Structure 1
């Protein structure tokens, strides 16, 4: 089993939904690569992970389950003893890096390491997790880096406990604005400022940049895309130019590369829809996609088109025969049995689970 958690910061995830509606299959092809390189000594490193979004709330409210083991049995040596069920069999996510003087080098991977263990809140008591993390750090890290990492971890826990108060303050306002069709960008900016001030209470500038810099870049990008999208004075062409200009002015780094790819996805889906409506050939679609997202992704999308076309053909066949059975059969229970047999004939188990939702989607498109 692999561990796959991503960190959660400001609830600006709402923003992304306001801007872009992307299909999961496309997003997976452009999942950001968080691998980092360093000349310092790497003590532990693993894959990109996904953080449990409820951690900060659970820490703040204390709404966690009792420890899976009695407190007097919660002493650790390596920090990996008696792992909770959600962490068993997973790869430890994160890293502890030290320099030539055995001092801690703070990285985004250190925060991922903290998040990895904190994701077990709900299975383990907070005090058990804190003891586990400190034991893990001290077992795998020399001094003075070990004590430095433990100190930052304690500050990180305190920060997570304080964060929900800010989220609560702005959450309802953001939700109301989203329901009205537009996001209150002034409220978003104030929330970002409050979170930035909170971070300064717990961390120095270097730690803030290492822990939250990449996520803040994505948040800033999302806010700007909303700002452009909500500008009623701009034409669609002007909005597209403004989006491209913003991305072009970002610093050249991995974050910019990922944002460029994500930005291309919006244009990719719009162009695909337009070209399909005009009856574009598979070759024309491939050329357009290759230009926007590269040949490998264009080839995968072409394969998805073939699979979708095949599914559509079988779905149409299924709907036609289903309606015939329902209209011509005097025994409705027998008709249902025949329809079920038809489903088994035309679709595999995974596809059968899609049928009701897919039928509803087709009805919406037909309206």
Structure 2
């Protein structure tokens, strides 16, 4: 999720944001006003984003421009978010609502902002009617402004508890500026709990004067402060991590596929073990296809072709062996093959 600040979650990515609740009350509390993008001096891109989003927010659903097919990296994928409205027609914020925004925003590297925002507004208009549509559009406007403002946050060493504390405080202040109290709780409560845990954990680990036993006790008490669903997710993640390490060790020892399947079944159950075995098969097939491609590509490179002819031959090779999405992966990996 954009705004993550700590190890494992330190990078500002557009990947995941959760939420659930609000806007169904007869007299909702005032929404937080978006910080004007023009207040970010010299940032023409920020001003463009704000102006484009405002223009699309004011357009009738039927007047929204058709941006055409999804960019290559998103073709064949779906955000899978079904938006909901309350009985009075107001917007209900479920946990995955902002994932819809992030899904389309992930295409910014491949197409212009106006196309990305048009896709989001068209999706909102297809799923919602007023007043929920206006509320969702306003949320999108503030979310985009928030995402842009995140770029202004100070960098922090991911192992420096004091710097991370400063960054987390600044991040939370920014969230409260762009979102109402109800939205803040809905969107960021879980992330903030995890961030707080990691900052406090780093602080404890760095404290002198605690014996190993005292430190372990303090860490155990700190973990109990996490929400139940977060602790369950951490436990599940640790279980998968241990299974992965054990599987890697078995493979190094030359274990058979059946022995690995039995280990996975004991840990995760028969259904998960079968799914992982199929994933192994797919990964092995993909690696073999890459190896075959690399061999043929190297043969072309050794054939003494001119550079234009070589590039054309490699492009034809890629087209003959991979579909469009696969070619993007191959082109990204090609320098490392």
Q: What's the TM-score, normalizing by structure 2?
A: 0.54
Residues 261 and 273, structure 2, Cα contact 8 Å, conserved in 1: yes
Deviations 1:24-64 (A, max 9, x none): xxxxxxxx9x89899x9xxxxxxxxxxxxxxxx9x963338
- 1:16 matched to which residue of 2? 8
Instruction: Classify 1:109/1:160 alpha carbon distance in 2 versus 1 (closer, same or farther; 3 Å).
Output: same
Instruction: Classify 1:333/1:65 alpha carbon distance in 2 versus 1 (closer, same or farther; 3 Å).
Output: farther
Alignment match of 1:287 (pick from 262, 265, 268): 262
**What is the correspondence of 1:18-37 to structure 2 with a 5 Å cutoff?**
none
**Secondary structure of 2:45's aligned partner:** coil
Taking the aligned partners of 1:314 and 1:135, their CA distance within structure 2 comes to 37
Instruction: Classify 1:313/1:125 alpha carbon distance in 2 versus 1 (closer, same or farther; 3 Å).
Output: closer
- 1:27 matched to which residue of 2? none
Instruction: Classify 1:185/1:272 alpha carbon distance in 2 versus 1 (closer, same or farther; 3 Å).
Output: farther
Cα distance, 1:160 vs structure 2: 2.6
Instruction: Classify 1:274/1:130 alpha carbon distance in 2 versus 1 (closer, same or farther; 3 Å).
Output: closer
- 2:143 matched to which residue of 1? 156
Instruction: Classify 1:310/1:135 alpha carbon distance in 2 versus 1 (closer, same or farther; 3 Å).
Output: closer
Instruction: Classify 1:311/1:62 alpha carbon distance in 2 versus 1 (closer, same or farther; 3 Å).
Output: closer
- 2:188 matched to which residue of 1? 212
Residues 137 and 146, structure 1, Cα contact 8 Å, conserved in 2: yes
**What is the correspondence of 1:215-230 to structure 2 with a 5 Å cutoff?**
215-217=191-193, 219=195
- 1:123 matched to which residue of 2? 112
Is 1:97 aligned with 2:84?
yes
Residues 67 and 118, structure 2, Cα contact 8 Å, conserved in 1: no
**What is the correspondence of 1:263-302 to structure 2 with a 5 Å cutoff?**
263-302=238-277
Which residues of structure 1 form unaligned runs of 5+?
1-6, 19-31, 41-56, 178-182, 317-331, 335-343, 359-367
Cα distance, 1:265 vs structure 2: 2.5
**Secondary structure of 2:61's aligned partner:** coil
- 1:82 matched to which residue of 2? 65
Taking the aligned partners of 2:3 and 2:9, their CA distance within structure 1 comes to 16
Deviations 1:203-245 (A, max 9, x none): 222201222234445555666887899999999xx98x99998
Residues 268 and 292, structure 1, Cα contact 8 Å, conserved in 2: yes
Alignment match of 1:262 (pick from 221, 237, 248): 237
Taking the aligned partners of 2:44 and 2:207, their CA distance within structure 1 comes to 42
- 2:299 matched to which residue of 1? none
Taking the aligned partners of 1:185 and 1:150, their CA distance within structure 2 comes to 37
Cα distance, 1:134 vs structure 2: 9.7
- 1:142 matched to which residue of 2? 130
Deviations 1:106-144 (A, max 9, x none): 334443344456556551449x9489849955993233x
Q: What's the TM-score, normalizing by structure 1?
A: 0.51
Taking the aligned partners of 1:308 and 1:154, their CA distance within structure 2 comes to 40
Residues 243 and 267, structure 2, Cα contact 8 Å, conserved in 1: yes
Taking the aligned partners of 1:116 and 1:266, their CA distance within structure 2 comes to 27
Cα distance, 1:246 vs structure 2: 7.2
Residues 102 and 142, structure 1, Cα contact 8 Å, conserved in 2: yes
**Secondary structure of 1:298's aligned partner:** helix
Give the aligned length.
282
- 2:174 matched to which residue of 1? 198
Cα distance, 1:264 vs structure 2: 2.0
**Secondary structure of 2:8's aligned partner:** helix
Alignment match of 1:107 (pick from 79, 94, 102): 94
**Secondary structure of 1:63's aligned partner:** helix
Residues 84 and 91, structure 2, Cα contact 8 Å, conserved in 1: yes
